[in-house]
């Protein structure tokens, strides 16, 4: 058995505090690009999303036939004081708590169901787009945390949030939204992913 002896001549590598301290005025200089980046992102997100946010159009297909009934059940269960964890409406009963599409663990959908006992398609669409907006903002904050360029953050945030929506319901964004109103599940889950 061989044991490597400790080297006495090695000293710990200590970085002086002045080398890692942020420069004077750092907080102001970093906050201004963040606010500008978030502002540009909000405008470039909200303009193409406007038809959905105003109710001119609605997110079609699965969002309407699969997810909105889940939200209606959740709202009805909360309004009547019943448990939203089990539904008697599917087969001989179904454990809603085990279904990731039940919207129970989506904080914004849960709040909508809690305060609106009959959520409309417009309210459902607005919550879905709010989640997309928050997901893109999260991407921007991630880029800022890593020290990456704000322009890259804008491109990545628009891609994550479905900026393709602006091209008159581009197929890719439309298909994504129809299948999954919980786009960006990491941003809207009570539980860690």
State yes or no: pLDDT of 157 exceeds 70. Answer: yes
Tell me if 7 is assigned to some domain: no
State yes or no: pLDDT of 178 exceeds 80. Answer: no
Q: Picking from 41-45, 50-54, 96-100, 184-188, which range would have the lowest pLDDT averaged per residue?
A: 184-188
Tell me if 16 is assigned to some domain: no
State yes or no: pLDDT of 4 exceeds 60. Answer: no
Mean pLDDT of the chain: 77
**pLDDT score, position 137:** 93
- DSSP assignment of the chain equals ---PPPPTT-------HHHHSPPTTHHHHHHHHHHHHHHHHHHHHHHHHHHHHTTSS---THIIIIIHHHHHHHHHHHHHT--TTEETTSTT-EEGGG-TTS-TT-HHHHHHHHH-SS--HHHHHHHHHHHHHHHHHHHHHHHHHHT--HHHHHHHHHHHHTGGGGTTS-HHHHHHHHH-TT-STTTT-SS--
Rounded distance between C-alpha atoms, residue 40 and residue 178, angstroms: 26
State yes or no: pLDDT of 176 exceeds 60. Answer: no
What's the total number of domains in the chain? 1
Tell me if 85 is assigned to some domain: yes
Residue 43: which domain range?
A: 31-179
Tokens of 114: 């809690």
**pLDDT score, position 114:** 96
State yes or no: pLDDT of 190 exceeds 50. Answer: no
**pLDDT score, position 90:** 80
**pLDDT score, position 19:** 52
State yes or no: pLDDT of 180 exceeds 60. Answer: no
**pLDDT score, position 60:** 79
Tell me if 2 is assigned to some domain: no
């Amino acid at each position: 058995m061989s044991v490597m002896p400790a080297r006495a001549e090695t000293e710990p590598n200590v970085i002086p505090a002045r080398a890692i301290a942020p420069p004077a005025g750092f907080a102001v200089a970093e906050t201004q690009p963040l606010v500008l980046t978030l502002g540009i992102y909000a405008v470039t997100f909200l303009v193409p999303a406007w038809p959905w946010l105003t109710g001119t159009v609605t997110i079609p297909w699965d969002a309407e036939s699969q997810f909105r009934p889940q939200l209606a059940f959740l709202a009805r269960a909360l309004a009547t004081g019943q448990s939203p964890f089990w539904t008697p409406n599917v087969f001989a009963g179904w454990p809603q708590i085990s279904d990731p599409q039940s919207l129970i663990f989506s904080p914004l959908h849960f709040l909508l169901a809690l305060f609106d006992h009959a959520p409309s398609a417009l309210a459902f669409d607005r919550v879905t787009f709010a989640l997309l907006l928050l997901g893109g903002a999260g991407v921007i904050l991630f880029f800022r945390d890593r020290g990456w360029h704000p322009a890259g953050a804008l491109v990545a945030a628009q891609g994550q949030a479905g900026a393709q929506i602006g091209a008159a319901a581009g197929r890719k964004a439309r298909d994504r939204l129809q299948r999954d109103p919980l786009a960006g599940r990491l941003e809207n889950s009570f539980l860690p992913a």
